[in-house]
Chains A and B, each alone.
Chain A
Amino acid sequence: MLFLPVQSPPQLHIPDGFLSVPVAAAGWIVAAICIGYALLKTRGQLGEKQIPLMGVLAAFIFAAQALNFPVAGGTSGHLLGATLAAIVVGPWAAMLIMTSVIGLQAILFQDGGLLSLGWNIVNMGILGAFTGYGVYQFARRVTGDGRTSLIVAGALGGWLSVMLGAAATAAQLALSGAAALSIALPAMLGVHALIGVGEALITAGALLFINATRPDLLRAGRAATGSRSAIWVLLALVIALGLALVSPLASPDPDGLNRVAADLGFDSEAQAAPYEILPGYSMPLIENPNLTKIAAVGIGTLVVFGIAFVIGRIGARKKIAA
C-alpha cells in the first residue's frame, strides 16, 4: 500500500481474487439489505423524481470524481463524493447514488471486482454517506446551521469517510488472508490520510458554493429521510468495523482466522486425511471456523445496525412527542 501513487482518487475499489468467498458474501448481504431499505426510504422522500434526480446526480458524482486540483509535487486531490451527496440529498439517496457509480465503475471499467462489489459499495458508498451525514448533523447541533457547520461537516466528514473506507478495506483484506493487518491497516490509513485532505477541501468548497448560491437545496438535505437515524447508523457501522478489526486480526499473522481456529481446536489441517492416497488433503470450503467467523461478523454487523436503528427510532419518536 505504501507504494501506491497518491494521485489516484480515493482508490478503494477491491478487485476480484482478493476477498475470500465468505467475506465477499457478507459484504453482499450488508449491501443488499442497505440498498433495499434505501430504495424504500427514497421512494417516500423523492417520489416520482427518484429516478431522474438520482440518475443525474450519479452522473454528476462520476464526472466530479475527475475534477482535481494540484496538491503537491505532481500529485492531485480528488473527490469520492459520498459525503457531499449525503449532505445535499440525505444519506439514503446518497447511498443509492454511490451504489450506481461504484456499480458502473465495476461493470464497465473493471474498477473493482464483481464479487467484491458488495464491500466496495459499503466501503465507499454506505460508510461514506453516513459518516459525512453523521458528522454534519453533529456539527449542526453544536454550531448551528451556518457556514461553520458546513465547513466542519464537509472537511471532517469528508476526511473521515475516506479514512473509514480505507480501514474497512484493510479489514476485509486481512479477514480474507490477503494481507497482514498490522501492515495493511497503518499503510492504508497513512496513504488515505493525505488523499482524504483532497476530499475534505473539495467537499467543503462545494458546500460553501451551494450554500452561497442555492441554500434551499441544503435545507432540503437537512430534512431528508434518514436525517435522524443517521448518527446511529454511523455509530453502528463504526462499532462493527472496530469489532472486525479487533477480533481475530490482532495477530500479525495474516492467517488470523485459521490461527484462531487452530487455537480453538478446530484445526482441520491436523486431521487425518480421509484418503490415504492423497496426504495433506483438505477441503477449505468446509472449514467450519472460517464460515462461522465470517457469518458472525456479518450477522453481528446487522444486529448492531438493527439495535442502533431501534434506538434511533425511539429517540426520534420521543423527540416528536415532547
Chain B
Amino acid sequence: MHHTIDVSDLKFSYPDGHVALRGVTLSIAPGEKVALVGPNGAGKSTLMLHLNGILTGEGDVRVCGLPLTDGNLGKVRAAVGLVFQDPDDQLFSPTVFEDVAFGPLHMGVPEPEVRERVARALAAVGMGDFAERVSHHLSAGEKKRVAIATVLSMDPEILVLDEPSAGLDPRARRGLISLLRELPQTMLISTHDLLLVRELFPRTAIMDHGQIVADGPTESILNDPELLEAHGLERMWSLADR
C-alpha cells in the first residue's frame, strides 16, 4: 500500500537566503508513529510546513499518493492535520466550539454533521464540556488539547504536531501523552522531549542542518550517545533506568 507521506530529496530556502532543507527524504507508512528530533534550526518545522503545501520546495512531496499541486491542496489539508507549536496562533475564534468547527465548516460539511464532529473531537481530547468557553482564557494545557481538537474535527488520516509538549507543566504533559496514545491516526511529531518519544514513538528520525541524518527504531537511536551528541541532543535517563 502507498506510503502515507512520501518526501523525496526536498530542498528549500527561505526568501532571505537561509537554506532550510538540503535534500530531505522520508517515508511514513499508514499507521506509523514517527518522532522527528534535532536541534533548533534543523528544519523540522520547515519540513512540516511542506506536508500540507504551506511551503513549497524543490523535490517531490506526496501525501496519500497525491502530489501537492494547487488543485490538490484542499484535499491534502483535509487529510493532514497540522498542529502548530503555539496554540495561540491556532485558536483564532472567540469560542472553543467555533474554533473546532472551523475546519469542517470550511469543507462545506452540513451543520448537523459539524456539530457531531465538534462533539466527537472535543470528547477525544477530553474537553467535552468546554465548547462554550472562550479560547483566550484557557490554560496552556487546555489550549493544546483544543488545538488538537481543531484538526481532529476534520477527520484527518495523518496528524502532524510541532513540539506538542513544549511549555506544558508535568500534569498537562502527562495528559497530552495519554491523549496521543489513544489517537489512532498516523502520527509525526517534532519534539525535544526524548522521554515522550521513548514512551510513544517506535520510530525516530534525527534531523540536523536541513537533512535527515538517522532514521530507525527509537531504542537503537536513542541509546547511541555519540549519535545524539553529534546532533545537539542528550541522552535522557529516566528514573526507571539503572
B-side contacts of A208, CB under 8 Å:
94
**Bound: A175/B216 CA distance, A:** 73
Q: Check if A322 is an interface residue, CB within 8 A of chain B.
A: no
B94:A214 contact, CB within 8 angstroms: no
**Bound: A213/B93 CA distance, A:** 10
Q: Mark A206-249, 1 if CB is under 8 A from B, else 0.
A: 00110011100000000000000000000000000000000000
Q: Check if B209 is an interface residue, CB within 8 A of chain A.
A: no
**Count the B residues whose beta carbon is within 8 Å of the partner chain — how many?**
7
A interface, over-half SS: helix
Q: Mark B112-149, 1 if CB is under 8 A from A, else 0.
A: 00000000000000000000001111000000000000
> For the side of the interface on A, what is the size category?
under 10
Closest residue on chain A to residue B93 by CB atoms: A209
**Bound: A209/B137 CA distance, A:** 13
B-side contacts of A214, CB under 8 Å:
136
Could you tell me which residues of chain B, from 57 to 79, have a CB within 8 Å of some CB in chain A? none
Could you tell me which residues of chain A, from 80 to 118, have a CB within 8 Å of some CB in chain B? none
Q: Check if B46 is an interface residue, CB within 8 A of chain A.
A: no
**Bound: A38/B137 CA distance, A:** 34
User: What is the minimal beta-carbon distance from B32 to any residue of chain A, in angstroms?
Assistant: 35
**Bound: A208/B137 CA distance, A:** 16
Could you tell me which residues of chain B, from 76 to 133, have a CB within 8 Å of some CB in chain A? 93-95
User: What is the minimal beta-carbon distance from B168 to any residue of chain A, in angstroms?
Assistant: 22
**Bound: A214/B94 CA distance, A:** 10
B-side contacts of A212, CB under 8 Å:
94-95, 134
Q: Mark A144-186, 1 if CB is under 8 A from B, else 0.
A: 0000000000000000000000000000000000000000000
**Bound: A273/B161 CA distance, A:** 80
Closest residue on chain B to residue A67 by CB atoms: B92
A-side contacts of B94, CB under 8 Å:
208-209, 212-213
A-side contacts of B93, CB under 8 Å:
209
B-side contacts of A213, CB under 8 Å:
94, 134-137
A-side contacts of B134, CB under 8 Å:
212-213
A-side contacts of B136, CB under 8 Å:
213-214
**Bound: A14/B45 CA distance, A:** 40
User: What is the minimal beta-carbon distance from A306 to any residue of chain B, in angstroms?
Assistant: 42
Closest residue on chain B to residue A211 by CB atoms: B94
**Bound: A212/B98 CA distance, A:** 12
User: What is the minimal beta-carbon distance from B60 to any residue of chain A, in angstroms?
Assistant: 28
**Bound: A122/B231 CA distance, A:** 56
B-side contacts of A209, CB under 8 Å:
93-94
User: What is the minimal beta-carbon distance from A210 to any residue of chain B, in angstroms?
Assistant: 9
**Bound: A262/B68 CA distance, A:** 66
**Bound: A52/B134 CA distance, A:** 27
**Bound: A209/B95 CA distance, A:** 9
User: What is the minimal beta-carbon distance from B27 to any residue of chain A, in angstroms?
Assistant: 34
User: What is the minimal beta-carbon distance from B215 to any residue of chain A, in angstroms?
Assistant: 38
**Bound: A189/B95 CA distance, A:** 36
**Bound: A212/B136 CA distance, A:** 10
Closest residue on chain A to residue B134 by CB atoms: A213
User: What is the minimal beta-carbon distance from A19 to any residue of chain B, in angstroms?
Assistant: 35
**Bound: A214/B135 CA distance, A:** 11
User: What is the minimal beta-carbon distance from A302 to any residue of chain B, in angstroms?
Assistant: 42
In the assembled complex, 12 residue pairs joining A and B whose CB atoms fall closer than 8 Å, in A order, are: A208-B94, A209-B93, A209-B94, A212-B94, A212-B95, A212-B134, A213-B94, A213-B134, A213-B135, A213-B136, A213-B137, A214-B136
9 more contacts with CB within 8 A, not counting A208-B94, A213-B94, A213-B136, are A209-B93, A209-B94, A212-B94, A212-B95, A212-B134, A213-B134, A213-B135, A213-B137, A214-B136
Closest 9 pairs (CB-CB, A-B): A212-B94, A213-B136, A209-B94, A213-B134, A212-B134, A213-B94, A208-B94, A212-B95, A213-B137
